[in-house]
Amino acid sequence: MSMSMSMTITSLNSDLHPIILIPGSGGNQLEARLTSSYKPSSLFCHLQKGTGWFRMWFDPTVLVAPLTRCFAERMMIYYHSEIDDYRNAPGVETRVPYFGSIKGMLYLDPNLKHLTEYMATIVSTLEELGYKDKETLFGAPYDFRYGLAANSHPSKVGTQYLQDLKNLIESVVASNNGKQVILVAHSLGGLFALELLNRNSLSWRRQFVKHLVTLGTPWGGTVQQMLTFASGNALGVPIVNPLLVRGEQRSSESNQWLLPNPSLYGSRPLLISTFNNKTYSALDMPQFLEDIGFKEGVEPYKARIIPLVERLDEPGVTVTCLVGTNVETPYRLEYGTGGFDAGPKVDYGDGDGTVNLISLLRLKSEWSGSKNQELDVVKLPGISHSDILKDKRALAEIVKIVTEINTGYI
């Protein structure tokens, strides 16, 4: 390598805008500890009591039916009306390891790298550009079971995460000679990132954040989330009974955030049920929650979620949305006489396999024509919701954006 080439690379690396990666739901490790208040429902669940901190997500024991129930019990969170907020199950303490680093987001289980890779490929791609963990590349993992609520309602865990993320951004900018950060957020992480921006002043945003890049963010929820609430979702693992994890998935505050947005989906039938002769649109979500047997979710949904998702304000920071398209995505669910436990017939439409196209493109439809907001939407045909973190075409787009920012083109 010539001296001039070496100097060029060194100069580029010292001039990198730091990047903070924000994962989607289930995209980082989560640890738990069981205290004396933990009351297991079975002997199987009792075995881990008092053993100190352990990785609760992802742990392969969830694939064993008796232990799947234990996993679901520990992952459950509960809404308490007296405090208008969510808390862990009694006797379960949780923590998110490696905040500030990308370490807990590379693989959900470092012992099963091939099966649980999450951000390893995108991280290695950024490392090839000269990025280094905890120097110019950072991670902002979180307890993805918790979400946010409208400003008039408390959301202790989610709000604390936004504060931690804000502090991380400020410290990263300070340690990188004042260079603004690039936020790269997958799926649910994009919703948190936009809320962070909009809950801080415009002057703060422009001082500390250069660009927000989102990957497959469900800006208006998904039809698939109705399937999760109605029948449970084994997340593609054939040996897991979705009914065993349904209660835990319903309890998740962030999952309510991802139900189809009424203002976006409107009155279009999303779920047709033969056994009770009802049809549900996004406007019927409270009734849907009650009819599936999750009555306790109705009030927090109406009070905390609906005001949160009504509109998405422009942050005044450049946003680029990378979205997968032309992948079969649940569009309408049809339940027969077997009821919600039996699972539906699924009609498919356009999207990334998880998020409907109308949700992926929500920012484009709501912010079009704005003079105060720069927005670019890049469609990636045939790339799924998870593959957007690994596919060469998606990675090439991310590299292009980051390189253009670092060289001053955008």
Q: What is the pLDDT of residue 50?
A: 61
Residue with structure tokens 């991280």? 123
* Integer Cα distance of 75 and 16 in angstroms: 38
Is the pTM of the predicted complex or chain greater than 0.85? yes
Q: What is the pLDDT of residue 15?
A: 86
Residue 14 CB neighbours (<10 A): 12
- Is position 87 within any domain? no
Token code pair at residue 401? 């954006």
- Is position 59 within any domain? no
Q: Give per-residue burial for 385-405: e unless 16+ CB within 10 Å, then b.
A: bbbbbbbeebbebbeebbeeb
> SS3 of 92, please?
strand
Catalytic residues: 187, 352, 385
* Integer Cα distance of 357 and 186 in angstroms: 16
- Is position 238 within any domain? yes
At 283, which CATH number? 3.40.50.1820
Report DSSP state, residue 267: T
Angle ∠(313,316,317) on CA atoms, nearest 5: 115
Number of domains in the chain: 1
- Is position 127 within any domain? yes
Amino acid, single-letter form, for residue 282: A
What is the chain's pLDDT, residue by residue, as a tens digit (410 residues)? 333 333 333 333 568 999 999 999 999 999 999 998 988 887 777 766 567 899 999 988 777 778 888 899 999 999 999 999 999 999 999 999 999 999 999 999 999 999 999 999 999 999 999 999 999 999 999 999 999 999 889 999 999 999 999 999 999 999 999 999 999 999 999 999 999 999 999 999 999 999 999 999 999 999 999 999 999 998 767 678 999 999 999 999 999 999 999 999 999 999 999 999 999 999 999 999 999 999 999 999 999 999 999 999 999 999 999 999 999 999 999 999 999 999 999 999 999 999 999 999 999 999 988 999 999 999 999 999 999 999 999 999 999 999 999 998 77
* Integer Cα distance of 172 and 17 in angstroms: 10
Residue with structure tokens 């029948």? 231
DSSP 318-375: EEEEEEEESB-EEEEEEE-TT-GGG--EEEEESBBSSSBHHHHTHHHHHHTT-SS--E
What are the CA-CA distances from residue 331 to residues 33, 112, 254 (Å)? 39, 33, 21
* Integer Cα distance of 183 and 15 in angstroms: 17
Is 22:212 a contact under the CB 8 Å cutoff?
A: no
The torsion angles phi and psi of 69, rounded to 5 degrees, stand at -65, -40
Residue 375 CB neighbours (<10 A): 16
Token code pair at residue 347? 């009609």
* Residue ranges making up the domain that contains 19: 3-30+97-406
The torsion angles phi and psi of 21, rounded to 5 degrees, stand at -90, 130
- Is position 54 within any domain? no
- Is position 324 within any domain? yes
| CA proximity to 187, closest of 132, 118, 251, 101 | 118
Dihedral Cα 341, 345, 351, 356, nearest 10 deg? -50
Contacts of 166 (CB under 8 A, 6+ apart): 196, 200
The helix-helix angle for 224-231 and 242-251 (nearest 10°) equals 110
Token code pair at residue 352? 């990334």
Token code pair at residue 176? 């990188």
DSSP 196-227: HHHTS-HHHHHHHEEEEEEES--TT--SHHHH
Is 389:185 a contact under the CB 8 Å cutoff?
A: no
The torsion angles phi and psi of 54, rounded to 5 degrees, stand at -140, 160
Burial class (CB in 10 A: 0-12, 13-18, 19+), 155: buried
Burial class (CB in 10 A: 0-12, 13-18, 19+), 329: buried
Q: What is the pLDDT of residue 9?
A: 31
